[in-house]
Structure 1
Amino acid sequence: MKGSGHDPDRLSRIVEDYKFFLSVRVHYADTDAQQVVYYGAYSNFYEAARQEYWRRMGIKLQEVHQRGNYLSIVEFVNRYYAPAFYDDLLDVYVRTPEIRPRSFDLDYLVVRRRDSETVAAARTVFVFVNHDDWKAVPIPDWFRTAVEQFEAR
């Protein structure tokens, strides 16, 4: 992806770079006619891991909303390396590699448990927006502090 700055091949595929993971079981509904995980199912895996990652830090989306903001994904990049299949147990790793003044990145790494094969890697770019006018606002200090403390920056 020239020009985007978010080349998926630059996402860390080193498990030790991540401090959090969530295990997810591939359900039948996650697969396609070839019994391979459907590409769209990965966004659900990332969402589940992201919510638990933030919960571990004490961050709840309800709190974001109560403070007058929403979190919006403005970019999503995903790279597939190997197929995952029905009933596979996948470890979905999440980290925050960078927080900028008005946006931040989340990286994801999906590893199949039975053979430690990297299945996929992804990045989402988030912005906080004001819920009244949907304009981007600076990353709140309370959010930045929680993430930086968890990631030990």
Structure 2
Amino acid sequence: SRLFERLTGSAAGHADELRRTAALVELLALVVEKWSAPASLPLPAADDGVMSAVVSHIRAHLTEELTLDSLAEQFFLSKSALCRRFKAATGFTVMEYVILCRVRYAGTLLRRGMSVRLAGEAAGFGDNAHFIRTFRRITGMTPGQYAKEQKT
């Protein structure tokens, strides 16, 4: 919260402007640190074997078309039961989780030097423009910016 106060406070002179710039750099460092941290997305509690299986299936089939209908059918659940149990187990909707996994995987591919277009395709995004918009919405930067930043 102090960081936020330093960012939003009024700058009276050059020293204040430098402090604000330093706070912005600190904020960006925190974002980059969080994004590049190896921490994985949440897993369901061990007592929900079905949701653990759904998560494993999503991670194993990221590049394929994943729909609520197909997942519910595969795991013998109604769509509403799947959605309710998945959200309770992970804190995300099914499709939010799919998108987050795809963006994380694309980030890994970009760090390895893959082009933006190929990383998006490999991560299961059928449309490059959709991949770029989604990546930016989640990470705060475009895939190209992310790849460029990883090189420095």
Band the TM-score falls in, shorter-chain normalisation: under 0.3
Structure number with larger C-alpha Rg: 2
Work out which structure has the larger RCO, using CA pairs closer than 8 Å and 6 or more positions apart in sequence: 1
Higher strand share: 1
Higher helix share: 2
- TM-score between both structures, scaled by the size of structure 1: 0.27
